[in-house]
Structure 1
Amino acid sequence: MADSARAAKLAQRIKVVVAEGLRRRVKDPRVEGITVTDARVTNDLQHATVYYTVLGDETAQADAKVGLDRARGVLRQEVGRNITVRLTPTLEFVADEIPVNAGHLEELLRVAKARDAEVAAIAEGAAFAGDPDPYRKPEDDGEPED
């Protein structure tokens, strides 16, 4: 059983090797717009999950998934040549959801900013419902201050 630090180093190396392999070895036009964002390796160094993003619509993403599945053997061979472990890990490709989540967060922030602007516009012409300072002071009780 390997330690997690070694697995993390191996994951970074696999990320670089897969990205270079996609650029140099794989000639499939479906994988040209792929960016490898992250890789994770299990602690036993047997399985690697490679996360990727694709620019384009859902059709481009589906085509990229098919292209990666077809190039899995070539990329695993490339990984085996460029890393120093006894067994080459299996590769699994997963579409990275970070750009989708980031877009969703940006939309939520945009809505919150618009609501804040509405509240500020309403508060601009508003007046207090009671006294501007509703807290009781000692001189209001008729008692002298110390």
Structure 2
Amino acid sequence: MSNPRTGKVAERIQQIIARRLDKGLRDPRLGFVTITEVRVTGDLQHASVFYTVYGDEEAQAGSAAALKAATGMMRSEVGKQLGTRLTPTLEFIHDELPESAQHMSELLAEAKRRDEEAAALAAGAHYAGDADPYVKPRDEEDAD
């Protein structure tokens, strides 16, 4: 968002939608939804609304269907409160960032565990062969 206006509009849309969700929708499929980010195109015609859902896959699927069904109502709410000439279209996108972050944390923990194992093995290791494997020039006494 290079344009400061798009940033302000995105922030305002996020607040409007979050407040509306906080009031509640009359859809029983809607779970505990958090709006994580809103991205607005430069021409303010389209807004991508990223959200997360607390719960299992069934709760996520139900919330996605509820948000899709409520998109028109949300858009009118945004249009009323935003006060711009055009109301952007809304697209709700499930935010994969928390799952990705959790997976990344697990991978980092596994890498740390393996590093500790390697360090423990290296602590008791000995070099193979002689202590000084380099060939040295012979002394003249040894040559006789």
Question: TM-score, normalising length from structure 1?
Answer: 0.83
After superposition, where does 1:1-146 map in structure 2 within 5 Å? 4-129=3-128, 130-131=130-131
The answer to which of 24-33 and 53-62 deviates more is 24-33
Partner SS for 2:29: helix
Question: TM-score, normalising length from structure 2?
Answer: 0.84
Question: What is the rounded CA distance, in whole Å, between the counterparts of 1:95 and 1:106 in structure 2?
Answer: 20
Q: Which runs of 5+ in 2 are unaligned?
A: 138-144
What letter matches 1:62 in structure 2? A
Q: Which runs of 5+ in 1 are unaligned?
A: 142-146
Question: What is the rounded CA distance, in whole Å, between the counterparts of 1:28 and 1:4 in structure 2?
Answer: 36
What letter matches 1:117 in structure 2? E
Asked if the contact 1:46–1:89 (Cα under 8 Å) also holds between the matched residues in 2, the reply is yes
* CA deviation profile, 1:66-118 (whole Å, cap 9, x unmatched): 00011112211111111121011110000001011111101111210111121
